[in-house]
Amino acid sequence: MVQIKMPDEAREIIQTLEQSGYEAYIVGGCVRDSILGREPMDWDITTSASPEQIKELFSYTIDTGIEHGTVTVMKNHCPFEVTTYRVDGKYEDHRRPNEVHFTKSLKEDLLRRDFTINAMAYNDREGIVDIYNGMDDLKKKRIRCVGVASQRFDEDALRILRALRFQAQLGFEIEEETKKAIQKQAKFLRDISAERIQVELDKLLRSAHPEVMENAYKLGVTKIILSEFDRMMETPQNNPHHKYSVGMHTIMALKNIEPDHILRWTMLLHDVGKPDAKTSENGRDHFKKHPVIGEKIARKIIRRLKFDNQTLKQVTKLILWHDRRFASPEEVNKKTTRHWVSELGPELFEKLMKVQKADISAQSDYQLERKKEVLSKTNAYFQEILREKDCLCVKDLCVGGKDLMEIGVPQGKELGELLSWLLEKVLDDPSLNEKDILLRLVREKREQEECL
């Protein structure tokens, strides 16, 4: 018999329910992940006890989803969702049941769940309860709906994205009937909120297999939730620098960058402007100003998906900058690099280096070694700038507004302009960043302007 090591608190909750005459099991994702040797994020419990009966048994509970039978039980400051067996009523919006009915049947409760690998329950007394052959699907690395796939997606269209997300996270394949139902019912994703789509898409992108985006395209999912990606997949790049379409280049770049939220979204959208920027001449495609066009399109997408302002700011900035690089290894220099780091900020410039590395790794072999050398030398100068703690912003200057006012600069516009001018000077030559030198430069500049 398979044994799952669950937290002591979860075991105590199950024992308390059982000792009071009710059935109780851990259920869903925590069972699946435990069998796979993955660390469960949550330990959900299902029971035959009603919400009121659950609340009577435990001293500290929270009504987190009482209308759907869910009570959060607090144990040692840890929350555990305890949900009454239920059968969902009629679905009308492809997202939520109009009502739920409580049941005493675990089998009926498991039947309403999305995929067989998420429809297993467990307790120490009975072991794994696997009515719908989830264990077999885990062994075969298969994602299959519980019951009739079309019915599961008709009930909740978000399950379509969840299927793709689990494929990406687990490295599984989607079973054929489930795949056919996704193709047929992807249109129902129009009824799902942008926030819900954002969460699932983000989990997919940050997974071990972001290349599942290709499957999302083939199954017609991106056509509904991210039509811009379809245009990328359908835009070839007849250019010596590339061997893939814009979309396939994007997928390869996604695979070559760490699963960081900002980095993965930047790679997904870094070339989103290419379909609009594309021109052809003598059999060769060109994509001039695609970062500028892409930044505007990405801004619309990120807003449409209801992302936070930090995501919007960082991703769009990186897209705008992703193609800014020295033309050759011989042209790489520390002064220009320092100006770029100052403009972008060290944290974002470090991300830019990773973005550019992933970008060129997904291109053709044409001039690849030169591109790598340019990136390597630029990154070396960046690391040197950080080690030497070069002045990169106004607050790093050895003078401030108070110092300038003491030599007669009035508070206001001129003060700010002089500080910005000093920063440019110091970015060109860090050795100038000494108080006496900076004040002398200000005096000289003001004297020259007075003479004009």
CA distances to 235, 237, 238, 285, 287 from 281, rounded to whole Å, are: 16, 12, 10, 6, 11
CB atoms within 10 A of CB 318: 27
Crossing angle of helices 261-269 and 309-321, in 10° steps, is 50
Characterize 204-225 residue by residue with b for buried, 16 or more Cβ atoms within 10 angstroms of its Cβ, and e for exposed: bbbbebbebbbbbbebbbbebb
CA distance linking residue 309 with residue 300, whole number of Å: 12
> Tens of pLDDT along 344-380?
999 999 999 999 999 999 999 999 999 999 999 999 9
Task: Give the whole-number percent of the chain exceeding pLDDT 90.
Answer: 93
What's the DSSP call for residue 219? Answer: T
CA distance linking residue 84 with residue 322, whole number of Å: 51
CB atoms within 10 A of CB 384: 13
What are the structure tokens assigned to 312, written together? Answer: 């919007």
> Tens of pLDDT along 287-309?
999 999 999 999 999 999 999 99
Q: How far is CA 361 from the centre of its chain?
A: 21
Say if residues 205 and 198 touch (Cβ distance below 8 Å): no
Q: How far is CA 373 from the centre of its chain?
A: 30
pTM value is: 0.93
CA distance linking residue 356 with residue 134, whole number of Å: 42
CA distance linking residue 35 with residue 123, whole number of Å: 13
What are the structure tokens assigned to 328, written together? Answer: 């050759």
- Tell me the pLDDT of the chain (452 aa) as tens digits: 789 999 999 999 999 999 999 999 999 999 999 999 999 999 999 999 999 999 999 999 999 888 889 999 999 999 999 999 998 766 666 556 666 789 999 999 999 899 999 999 999 999 999 999 999 999 999 999 999 999 999 999 999 999 999 999 999 999 999 999 999 999 999 999 999 999 999 999 999 999 999 999 999 999 999 999 999 999 999 999 999 999 999 999 999 999 999 999 999 999 999 999 999 999 999 999 999 999 999 999 999 999 999 999 999 999 999 999 999 999 999 999 999 999 999 999 999 999 999 999 999 999 999 999 999 999 999 999 999 999 999 999 999 999 999 999 999 999 999 999 999 999 999 999 999 999 999 999 998 887 75
Residues 6+ apart with CB under 8 A from 348: 314, 317, 318
